[in-house]
Amino acid sequence: MPVSILDYGLGNLGSIRNMFRKIGVETLSVDSPEGLLGASKILLPGVGAFDAGMRALKARGLTEPLLDRARAGIPILGICLGMQLLTRGSEEGTLPGLGLFDASCRRLLVPIGSALKVPHMGWAQLTRRKASHLLQGLDDKARFYFVHSYHVVCTDPADVLATSDHGGEFVAMIERGNVVGAQFHPEKSHRFGMQVFRNFAEI
């Protein structure tokens, strides 16, 4: 079954489609509520600001259909801003998020005097916090590409799938039932990101 990629004006859709093409997985670009109705797997991409993302989803009438598909048990993967939109909201803006996780987004902080910068841009490894099909075939040396200034803070530690580090630990992946989020960009993470996409497609 194809992976439906939500096209709401904020996301690196070309690179995402190319990565799925490399692993032999068909994709569909979906930009309407009707397009979501038959989706068997949904990828929610995103780059930019939190409120801009929520406004774009609402303007296209995608918010409620996306929530309906989540409640129906359809696998959903949010990446980068798409992961943050799965939460209740963000310090970056004022609009409520999708609320699929009891979590919020806060600005990344690095130690005073540190050479580290915000936004966090570059490669980092993950520390797994629980088992997941999404991480099958990946060892502890797997590295992923991040670009972000905000990070997700979960109320329930059981929602944390993996963490990473940038002047302190932050949540890199979340998972609750059929809904998963990755703060990094799988489409920019070479063979490691390819494996994440492969695992998602196999769900």
Choosing from 80, 148, 166, 175, which is the catalytic residue? Answer: 80
How many CA atoms within 13 Å lie on the side-chain side of 114?
11
Burial class (CB in 10 A: 0-12, 13-18, 19+), 61: middle
Choosing from 105, 166, 175, 187, which is the catalytic residue? Answer: 187
Burial class (CB in 10 A: 0-12, 13-18, 19+), 52: middle
Beta carbons of 4 and 37 less than 8 angstroms apart: no
Choosing from 120, 151, 166, 185, which is the catalytic residue? Answer: 185
Active site residue 80: yes
Beta carbons of 164 and 172 less than 8 angstroms apart: yes
Cα–Cα–Cα angle for 41, 12, 33, rounded to 5 degrees: 45
Tell me the catalytic residues: 80, 185, 187
